[in-house]
Structure 1
């Protein structure tokens, strides 16, 4: 069995974990890109299609922590396989469902599966390698997220509009089936936490550094998604309503660049990377606020913003794994909850800001949030962001 004494990156299992993350993010976000064809096909409003994303997030937020705590003693491989099987099952149901209620139930349940998956993937990656390679292994395992956002969603949207949205969800099921077969044959297994060492959510929350990492995660994702959820109205201010795809492409490319940079540096410079990423994000927010009508500076800001988002998942999951210690799986589930809570609340705050103050207000709220995260991460030098 492949274990923790291995002195090089085990690329095959790490890429399998990355593919599982890719499937997860693609499953979550595709309805946003397929809003119109799904609305037409199901004869429902675009707003009701949008709720398919909302119920996914609700499923993750409500169940990630309790289910991860409940399964912390389980062997890791069977739990991982169960998650992949869940994506296969519920995406298949989504592909064939004609009833809106059935779709909502399937989306809620696949959100539950996603919450459990994110609670184990990062720790699985770290257990595959020795200590000095843990950060790099995390970076590889986490690259499915930016790749799904930068490439998977646009490609899925294009083909969904071309051949039908049901075909795309069916295609995700086929990919999940292939991954399930490969993992069942080749993925190494690790034991869960010993029963005598099982910890409660409260015990994990009180560990030094955990609350700091969770606060930074929540504010980072809140700030990010206020703009990301309503990027169209903001770009309209600069006359870029016909160039949303170009701006998101810039964002996606720099997201991938950020991911590769963090893979090289994270094992030695986690604290510096977190502080510098938040500082660059704050600079991007400032530029977004000052130059709402200047396309070239908006493009530069999109690039800086993407660079910082590309590093966020790996940095934050590495930080929570470090402070979570033996209870890292439970700590990861808390991070998943904080992450998805930030996404959900950002949608509400963004809508209120757009209606009451206009899209130009997004940047200034983002800046305040990021400065708060910067202060907390800077103060967490002994526990949270200490290396």
Structure 2
């Protein structure tokens, strides 16, 4: 049986009337930092390899170690910290991330670098697990979708600009400046959170479900399956966009196409923020369907430069709001246990990154880059079917978000 407390909770959704826009923007900046920190080594392979005297394949482990830390540490850490107040927890996790990232920037030892990346990934997972619920909790209930859209905007900007900026900085100066730059941005974000962000209470022992039961809540597994399928569909071609472009002979460069994708993703975030509160389920269906349409265009019209550009715009717009939509579904479905439910999101996301890397590499040994939009089509269709399968349990038409007690 589920009940909701009537006593006001500090930071509870709906207890304030004004949207904390500046705080939400800072949370989005933190999301940018997390994405950029994870993906940036991909643009720095040659310079890190030359600087540390190791192979580029070994440098690739910087990304794997970060993802592994996120996968292993996120859910246990969120489970153990559910009773803690949100603002101090965010600041502590951000401090841990800063220390670990600074160690990577200063290290000349491979083992220490990989350990620091693993630790950074662990703190990243904690932050990812609480960003959505924290942003939504400190916002008025009527702006729940908009608050999530603002917080989620950092991720597509990180994908669009984080890796190219880090690559430029590392090439123009030194790769350590790329990591150092993220440390500086994180320090500024942490200072702003400390100064202006409202606090929110953690959960009391009586209101917390065990993590295994949170996973078994109706709809949670379906949402995670959509995340995993959609992320594989996206990451396989995003990671290996260069082989795809070589196979198209369009003459488009990776930097140009990813910039187009990033700008379109930001447009998708804006559209999501405008629609999510009123039509969450229809928005999700349409987003995944348009994503599949973009994949079909990337495959069928690969010889046409205008068609590839148009498909990339559609890809970015349809995928840009994915994080906000799926975090909203997890947060709404889990209710009082939203922090733990959202902790599963970076785990599913990083497992998809890992799987996409292996799948893409395996396919490219026997096929050219045109096989990648086929993967995008197949897993996109799986995600679309899952959104219809979970219409009743996972993707509700409308459901009020509240932080309250849960009787078990």
Q: Which residue does the alignment assign to 2:40?
A: 30
Structure 1 stretches lacking a partner, 5+ long: none
How far apart, in 1, do the equivalents of 2:63 and 2:285 lie? 31
Q: Which residue does the alignment assign to 1:246?
A: 256
Task: Indicate which of 363, 366, 371 corresponds to 1:353.
Answer: 363
Q: What SS does the aligned partner of 2:136 have? A: helix
Cα deviation digits, residues 146-192 of structure 1 (max 9, x gap): 11222232222212211111112112112222222222232221111
Could you tell me whether the CA contact under 8 Å between 1:125 and 1:137 is conserved in 2?
yes
Task: Indicate which of 165, 169, 177 corresponds to 2:175.
Answer: 165
Corresponding residue pairs, total:
387
How far apart, in 2, do the equivalents of 1:163 and 1:147 lie? 23
Q: Which residue does the alignment assign to 1:257?
A: 267
Q: Which residue does the alignment assign to 1:68?
A: 78
Q: What SS does the aligned partner of 1:366 have? A: helix
Query: Shift of the alpha carbon at 1:242?
Result: 5.7
Could you tell me whether the CA contact under 8 Å between 1:232 and 1:241 is conserved in 2?
no
Cα deviation digits, residues 324-367 of structure 1 (max 9, x gap): 11111110011221111111101001111111232221222221
Q: Which residue does the alignment assign to 1:209?
A: 219
Query: Shift of the alpha carbon at 1:228?
Result: 0.7
Cα deviation digits, residues 200-229 of structure 1 (max 9, x gap): 122111111111111100000011011011
TM-score, normalisation: structure 2: 0.92
Q: What SS does the aligned partner of 1:356 have? A: coil
Q: Which residue does the alignment assign to 1:112?
A: 122
Task: Indicate which of 188, 199, 212 corresponds to 1:178.
Answer: 188
Task: Indicate which of 69, 81, 94 corresponds to 1:84.
Answer: 94
How far apart, in 1, do the equivalents of 2:41 and 2:163 lie? 9
Task: Indicate which of 360, 368, 380 corresponds to 2:378.
Answer: 368
Q: Which residue does the alignment assign to 1:40?
A: 50
Could you tell me whether the CA contact under 8 Å between 2:247 and 2:368 is conserved in 1?
no
Q: Let me know the Cα RMSD of the aligned residues.
A: 1.4
TM-score, normalisation: structure 1: 0.97
How far apart, in 2, do the equivalents of 1:31 and 1:16 lie? 24
Given the superposition, is the C-alpha separation of residues 340 and 241 from structure 1 closer, same or farther in structure 2, using an over 3 Å criterion? farther
How far apart, in 1, do the equivalents of 2:232 and 2:343 lie? 18
1:12 aligns with 2:22: yes
Q: What SS does the aligned partner of 2:60 have? A: helix
Q: Which residue does the alignment assign to 2:136?
A: 126
